[in-house]
A and B are shown apart, each in its own frame.
Chain A
Amino acid sequence: GESVGLHLPTLSVQEGDNSIINCAYSNSASDYFIWYKQESGKGPQFIIDIRSNMDKRQGQRVTVLLNKTVKHLSLQIAATQPGDSAVYFCAENGDSNYQLIWGAGTKLIIKP
């Protein structure tokens, strides 16, 4: 897998508002997609995943949407809280059964 870490896109959201983080995935063969949250000084933490036979999946305060036509993945976080501040990565499996292709990451900043 590969990812670029030079310039992280940043999303600033007011506390209590909903956040939408977008990801354009690269491989048409991908059939499994994962969102991770990485807080400062910690490892990537699994948030939610979705398979290509679905277009929406909901968790606790999070929803993942998959649009295979345009190869787009999004993560929606409801009622954003200060603890949601982190870098969010999308990942896809490509045509591998173990190696992930990582997105560049989006830094989510919560404004009080």
Chain B
Amino acid sequence: DAGVIQSPRHEVTEMGQEVTLRCKPISGHNSLFWYRQTMMRGLELLIYFNNNVPIDDSGMPEDRFSAKMPNASFSTLKIQPSEPRDSAVYFCASSKDPGNQPQHFGDGTRLSIL
């Protein structure tokens, strides 16, 4: 079975550029999560979607970050404009029922902003 698929795996870009990260959740999972992981702060939840609707975006750092889920099989996380402090690994995860079933993670996008 295909797991959560993220692209690109690595992204290096200059500050000020727009960055778009992509995620395909596991088929049949109705919950999708975007996380950011850094050595200093560990895993941080950025935003949570349920049935394609954003439920909790309180973890989104600032207005430069936005996320969309136009359908059940695709989500994007966009940073515009990007800054060096956005450098991190960004993970997407999905779940059938997050209160009772585990979240399954993709292998992440390693983002470096120069």
Is B one of A's binding partners? yes
- A-to-B contact residues, CB < 8 Å: 1-6, 32, 34, 36, 41-46, 49, 89, 93, 96-100, 102, 104-105
Task: Verify A44–B45 contact, CB threshold 8 A.
Answer: no
Q: Which residue of B lies closest to A34 (CB)?
A: B102
Q: Which 8 A-B pairs have the closest CB atoms?
A: A3-B42, A43-B105, A97-B99, A5-B42, A98-B98, A46-B102, A44-B105, A43-B107
B12 touches A (CB below 8 Å) = no
Task: Among A1, A4, A49, A93, find the residue whose CB has the most chain B CB atoms closer than 10 A.
Answer: A1
Closest to A45 in B: B105
Of A2, A34, A93, the residue contacting B44 (CB under 8 A) is A2
CB closest residue in chain B, given A98: B98
Instruction: Report yes or no: B41 in contact with A5, Cβ–Cβ below 8 A.
Output: yes
* A32 CA / B39 CA spacing, docked (Å): 26
Chain B, range 93-109, C-beta contacts under 8 Å to A: 93, 98-100, 102-108
Set B42, B102, B107: member contacting A2, Cβ < 8 A: B42
30 sample A-B contacts, Cβ–Cβ < 8 Å, listed by A number: A1-B44, A1-B45, A4-B42, A5-B38, A5-B40, A5-B42, A6-B39, A6-B40, A32-B99, A32-B100, A34-B102, A36-B105, A41-B107, A43-B93, A43-B105, A43-B107, A44-B43, A44-B105, A46-B104, A89-B43, A93-B99, A97-B98, A97-B99, A98-B31, A98-B50, A98-B55, A98-B98, A98-B99, A102-B42, A105-B42
The distance in angstroms between the C-alpha atoms of A41 and B91, with both chains bound, is: 11
Question: Could you say which residues of chain B place their CB within 8 Å of the CB of A4?
Answer: 41-42
Residue of B nearest to A1 (CB): B45
Number of B residues near A (Cβ < 8 Å) is 28
- In the assembled complex, the Cα of A36 lies from the Cα of B42 at a distance in Å of 14
* B14 is an interface residue with CB less than 8 A from chain A: no
A49 to B95, CA, bound (A): 14
**Does B43 lie within 8 Å of A3, measured CB to CB?**
yes
What residues on B are CB-neighbors of A32 within 8 Å?
99-100
For B100, the closest partner residue in chain A by CB is A32
B48 within 8 A of A: yes
